[in-house]
A and B are shown apart, each in its own frame.
Chain A
Amino acid sequence: EVQLVESGGGLVQPGGSLRLSCAASGITFSPYAMSWVRQAPGKGLEWVSAISGSGGTTYYADSVKGRFTISRDNSKNTLYLQMNSLRAEDTALYYCAKDSGWYYGSGSYMDYWGQGTLVTVSS
Chain B
Amino acid sequence: EIVLTQSPGTLSLSPGERATLSCRASQSVSSRYLAWYQQKPGQAPRLLIYGASSRATGIPDRFSGSGSGTDFTLTISRLEPEDFAVYHCQQYGDSPRTFGQGTKVVIK
**B1-57 with Cβ < 8 A to chain A:** 31, 33, 35, 37, 43-47, 50-51, 56
Residues of B within 8 A of A45 (CB): 37, 45, 88, 90, 99, 102
A81 and B92 alpha carbons, distance in the complex (Å): 21
A112 and B101 alpha carbons, distance in the complex (Å): 20
Interface contacts (Cβ under 8 Å), in number, total 57
Residues of B within 8 A of A62 (CB): 96
**B95/A44 in contact, CB under 8 A:** no
Asked if A95 is at the interface of the complex by the 8 Å CB criterion, the answer is yes
- Chain A residue nearest to B54 (CB atoms) is A109
Q: Which of A11-19, A24-32, A72-80, A113-121 contacts B (4 or more CB under 8 A)?
A: A113-121
Asked if A82 is at the interface of the complex by the 8 Å CB criterion, the answer is no
Residues of B within 8 A of A115 (CB): 43-44
Give the A interface residue count (CB, 8 A). Answer: 23
Query: Could you show 23 A-B contacts with beta carbons less than 8 Å apart?
Result: A44-B88, A44-B102, A45-B37, A45-B45, A45-B99, A46-B99, A47-B97, A59-B95, A62-B96, A95-B44, A104-B95, A105-B92, A105-B95, A107-B51, A109-B33, A109-B47, A109-B50, A109-B92, A110-B35, A111-B56, A112-B47, A113-B44, A116-B44
Interface residues of B (CB under 8 A from A): 31, 33, 35, 37, 43-47, 50-51, 56, 88, 90, 92-93, 95-102
